[in-house]
Amino acid sequence: MTVPAPTVTPAPVVVRRLPGPAERAPRAHRRRRRLLETGLGIGVPVLLLVFWQLASSLGWVDSRSYPAPTTILDEAWTMSGRGELWPDIAQTGFRILSSFLIGALIGFLVGLATGLSPMTRAALEPLLNGLYTVPKLALLPIFLTVFGFGQLPQLMVVAVTVFFFVWISTSAAIVAVPEGFRDAGRSMGFSRVQMFTHVLFPAALPQVFVGLRIAAGVAVLVIIATEFLVGDNGLGFLIFDAQRLFLTAPMYVGIVCSALLGVLFTAIITWIGRKACPWAPRGNDIQPR
């Protein structure tokens, strides 16, 4: 009689995970990460500027059409000394800020109405979706006819543009709040006001600030375009006037100032979002650092 061999049970495999640098020293890891991100954010533009300077100085590109960064900087310094640059920057900045506040406020309120009320959403969304597809600069002749020449038509175009971006982001953020959040509020006996202030509004606010950030960048683009078309001052008019007179250096000064103004305005919105939404999840554009 053959005796079966005993069954050998393999020893269990124990998988161990060693803590990484982010877990062993979280503060030092975050510090190194911030330094790396800051270095990349500064280093890439600096490298591009150096390449541009070399390309223009060594004749790789036509310096008359693409002046070197140092030439643009010298021209900006000269224009600033003559008092020609800062008034244009101030005019454009004022138009961006005032029109952005008007459009963002109305867009936020309408977004809340369409996000909270299905009936309001059914009544307004088809009309607003149709108007959203209309190119906003195409509205400029209408505003010129109604309000005449001046700043108001330009402000109206930017405000309408900002309105649609903020309305869409606010309404979509309210509708997209997970049902589990709403169920948690109902289980705690929240009233409608408490449901909005403690559940819906905090959950939707990070996405609202994403829409505000996008709208801030678009506002700069649109106001430059309106100044380019019908303005008599501002950075858009500076760019148009310099291009008309074949003055490339002042034209690039206006372009660079417009870009810096857009970066500054977007950074301010992002900073406000980080302070207003400390609960925003990691990986979000407005997460706390």
The residue ranges of the chain whose pLDDT is under 70 are: 1-25, 281-289
Domain 64-276 has CATH 3.30.590.10: no
pLDDT in tens, 106-141: 999 999 999 888 888 888 888 888 888 888 888 888
Residue 65, number of CB atoms within 10 A of its CB:
8
pLDDT in tens, 7-55: 656 656 666 666 666 666 677 777 888 888 788 888 888 888 888 888 8
Two structure tokens written together for 43: 């280093």
Query: For the residues of 29-49, what is the DSSP string, one character each?
Result: HHHHHHHHHHHHHHHHHHHHH
> What DSSP designation does 278 have?
T
* pTM attached to this predicted model: 0.79
Rounded Cα gap, residues 229 and 238, in angstroms: 11
Rounded Cα gap, residues 30 and 94, in angstroms: 37
Q: Return the domain boundaries, the chain.
A: 64-276
Secondary structure class of 6 (helix, strand, coil): coil
The pLDDT of residue 110: 92
Rounded Cα gap, residues 248 and 137, in angstroms: 26
Rounded Cα gap, residues 109 and 128, in angstroms: 14
Contact 96, 219 (CB under 8 A): yes
Percent of the chain with pLDDT over 70: 88
Nearest to 151 by CA among 161, 162, 140: 140
